[in-house]
Amino acid sequence: MTGARLGRVLIVEDDAALLDQLTWALKADFEVVGAPDASAGRRALEEEFDVHLFDLRLPPSGQVEEGLGLLSEVRKRDPDATVVMMSGEGERALALKAMAEGAFDFFQKPVDRDELRTILRRALERRRLLADNRALRRQSAGEGPLGQLLGASSAMQRLRADIARVAPSDASVLILGESGTGKELVARSIHAGSRRAAEAFVAVNASALPESLAEAELFGHEKGAFTGAIASRPGRFELAQRGTLFLDEIGTLSAGIQSKLLRAIEQREIERVGGRRPIAVDFRLVTATNEDLEERVSEGSFREDLFYRINTVILPIPPLRERSGDIGLLAGSFLARFAARHGKTASRLSPVALERLESHPWKGNVRELEHAIEMLVLFSEGEEIGEEDLPRALRRPNHEAGGVAGRGLPFGKAVEEFEKRLLADAIAAAGGIKAEAARRLGLDANQIKYLCRKYGL
């Protein structure tokens, strides 16, 4: 990187006028290095670049093999290298061959500057995603791809075994599970154990996509495709090129998006909103839902043909209430993580506190337990968290509690009530002094003011 530039680009192009044009078009955003032939391009590969832009036909032979050979060499040096190929009109089949051999994308001459900038920005986004995935793999080094799926229960052992069997394939996987069970973690484990592990993992929460923008977010859009589309932008399918695309809450997609998704799965091609050319995509699809999709199919709100395309393999995740023996293991892991994050001394749960946690129904599953442990760590004053540190709803055996668990509240509402009780307990323990309660909770003055207004405390 140099200053505010986005990255370094190597351009290998024998047309001197075109090389100058490309350099001029990109130099405001990128540090550009040019080479006039394959030999000079090979010498330039001694340096490090974020994106490589190669013509297919290069001197000395002027044949396609020169460009493909350069592509092969840079990929041998760096399997994660991001290479974009340039081709002349009528050479689409050759460009697709280059993509099959590892190129990230291609564009046809004559050069469209906006299209080129969009492709390079998308290539940089792919590089960032690959870097993020490498960081995640380093973080879990020694654990293996399934190391973060904690649990000694038979249900979790079966789940890990199923993931290990299906991950090396390219089969589409449908993950079934209640909210908070860890569907994205399972999807990441599948990706980490696959042949695509070195490529990007792109996660999309379909339920969080506004219907009016869902198509553009997934498939990308061209400049001017709709009001506010001031520049072309790639979608999540393109960002997941040769990697894994994870669509969470797939049952929330509209009928129109379901239709385009089916075409992408069947044809391995997409079209951007406002686009006129198909874009080849290579991805593995992993989806997830907490709904009964078969019932949705019978109701006519989910396409039957799409349902059978995404459920080649079905992986159900057990809810936490069916794996109570794992609660201690999970709580201990969360306790260590949050104590280190917040600089607290809490390192263990008392036997009674653990018993109370294991008797709780955890309607929000692992996510709810994780949230609860973080709050307990923030409250803690010593090395051990005892029953007296638990919120009132957890201090009594579940059959005696008349709090959140007994009322069957939705997860979001249950978390709010839990948070309100923790805040009230902190203020009470601090003798009504909110500044002291904020200190104990690790909140600043504005945060505790907001929460007190929110909950009327």
Examine the pLDDT at 253 and tell me if it is beyond 90: yes
Q: What is the pLDDT of residues 160-211, one digit of tens each?
A: 999 999 999 999 999 999 988 999 999 999 999 999 998 999 999 998 888 7
Phi, psi dihedral angles at 272 (to 5 degrees):
-70, 155
Return the higher-pLDDT residue of 107 and 17.
17
Tell me, what's the pLDDT at 402? 44
1-15 pLDDT, tens per residue?
344 567 889 999 999
What is the Cα Rg of the chain in Å? 26
Span 38-51, pLDDT tens digits: 999 999 988 889 89
pLDDT at 142: 44
**Predicted confidence band of residue 132 (pLDDT cuts 50, 70, 90):** low
Q: Amino acid identity, residue 277?
A: R
What is the distance between the alpha carbons of residues 85 and 105, in angstroms, rounded to a whole number? Answer: 6
pLDDT of residue 4: 53
For range 334-357, the mean pLDDT: 85
Give the CATH architecture of domain 321-455: Orthogonal Bundle (1.10)
Domains 7-124 and 149-318 share a fold: yes
pLDDT class of 431 with cuts at 50, 70, 90: low
Q: What is the pLDDT of residue 54?
A: 93
Euclidean distance between CA atoms 383 and 390, whole angstroms: 15
Is pLDDT of 144 > 60? no
Average pLDDT (257-277) is 92
Query: Residue 153: what residue type?
Result: S
Q: Give the residues across from 316 on adjacent strands.
A: 176
Query: 7-124 architecture in CATH?
Result: 3-Layer(aba) Sandwich (3.40)
Q: Which of 32, 25, 50 lies closest to 110, judged by CA? A: 25
Report pLDDT for 201.
Answer: 94
- Rounded to an integer, the average pLDDT of 93-121 is 81
Domain boundaries, the chain: 7-124, 149-318, 321-455
Helix axes 327-342, 365-379, angle to 10 degrees: 50
What is the rounded average pLDDT for all residues in the chain? Answer: 84
d(CA 256, CA 243): 25
Partner residues linked to 384 by β-bridges: 348
State the DSSP code for 233: B
Average pLDDT over residues 350-359: 86
- Superfamily name with CATH number, domain 149-318: P-loop containing nucleotide triphosphate hydrolases (3.40.50.300)
Question: How does strand 51-55 pair with strand 7-12?
Answer: parallel
Segment 210-250, tens digit of pLDDT: 877 889 999 988 888 887 777 788 899 999 999 999 999 99
How far from chain centre, in Å, is Cα 309?
22
369-417 pLDDT per residue, tens: 998 898 888 877 878 888 888 887 777 654 444 444 445 556 666 777 7
**How high is the pLDDT of residue 131?**
67
Whether omega before 36 lies within 30 degrees of 0, making that bond cis, reads no
Name the token pair of 56.
Answer: 């297919």
Structure confidence by residue, pLDDT tens digits, 276-288: 889 999 999 999 9
8 Å CB contact between 247 and 208: no
pLDDT value at 141 more than 50: no
- pLDDT surpasses 90 at 28: no
User: Rounded mean pLDDT of 143-170?
Assistant: 82
Is the predicted pLDDT of residue 137 greater than 70, yes or no?
no
